[in-house]
Structure 1
Amino acid sequence: MIHQEKQRWTAVCPLDDILPDTGVCALVDNRHVAVFRVGNGEEKVFAIDNYDPNAQASVLSRGLVGNLGDRLVVASPIYKHHFDLENGACIEAPEKSVRAWPVRVEKRMVWVGC
């Protein structure tokens, strides 16, 4: 019999504390995680590492949210590299991609899985 470890979830904040098309930083499993709320109406929530390996700083939650083609991205506020919100891929430097975290909203509370 294979034992699978259950995923743990950390409550980050109420959804309404994140303005649409912006991000916040949260401490999850001892790591800085950038959590983004995208859209007005049909909203989506994403979580990626907050640490930008290009700038070597925890700044991604302060980046500008937008899209490149059909990809939802955040542009780092320092060197403007774009990170895909779905999978953490760095568009300009794929070797500098970051981790994407599972995220969910329950009863208007944002949770990040670790």
Structure 2
Amino acid sequence: MGTATAIKNDVTWQSLCRKADLVEFSGVAAWLETVEGPAQVALFHVPGHETELFAVDNRDPFSGVNIIARGIVGDIKGEPVVASPLYKQHFRLGDGTCLERPDVRLRHWPVRFDGDRVMIGLG
């Protein structure tokens, strides 16, 4: 786990990993300490979209398994999504909403590149 580097708009930006640790159009799981406790985060680097970096909860809400980072990345109507590898629900990477069940959502975090570092916002 990285260290907190700046506070802006009630968000603490923490270094999570390096850009080289990511795989384009695929997910990578990372461990994160949050206010609510530890969480596994699924990071997705999707070049070519307006937003290229996404961070959502790695825990599939339908199965309870930490597996979202292994899902298939694609887009539906131009919006980046990940399909859960177990039951195939699609989750929007931008806000974690399940397209088949809009009442179900993955937690998501602000995330950005700072040079070669991946920074995740906690707050």
Query: TM bucket by the smaller chain?
Result: 0.7 to 0.9
Moved over 4 A (4+): 40-43
Q: 1:1-114 to 2 correspondence within 5 Å?
A: 6-28=10-32, 29=34, 30-39=38-47, 44-114=52-122
**Structure 1 position 39, deviation (Å):** 2.0
TM-score after normalising by structure 2: 0.81
**Structure 1 position 10, deviation (Å):** 2.3
How has the CA–CA distance of structure 1 residues 14 and 43 changed in structure 2, closer, same or farther, with 3 Å as cutoff?
farther
**Structure 1 position 40, deviation (Å):** 5.9
How has the CA–CA distance of structure 1 residues 43 and 87 changed in structure 2, closer, same or farther, with 3 Å as cutoff?
closer
How has the CA–CA distance of structure 1 residues 71 and 5 changed in structure 2, closer, same or farther, with 3 Å as cutoff?
closer
Q: Deviations for 1:63-110, whole angstroms, at most 9, x for unmatched residues?
A: 110001121100011111000000100001112211121001001110
**Structure 1 position 16, deviation (Å):** 1.7
TM-score after normalising by structure 1: 0.87
Give unmatched runs, 5+ long, in structure 1: none
| Superposition CA RMSD, Å | 2.1
The SS at the match of 2:11 is coil
How has the CA–CA distance of structure 1 residues 72 and 5 changed in structure 2, closer, same or farther, with 3 Å as cutoff?
closer
- How many pairs align? 111
AA of the residue aligned to 1:12: L
Q: 1:20 touches 1:40 (CA, 8 Å); kept in 2? A: no
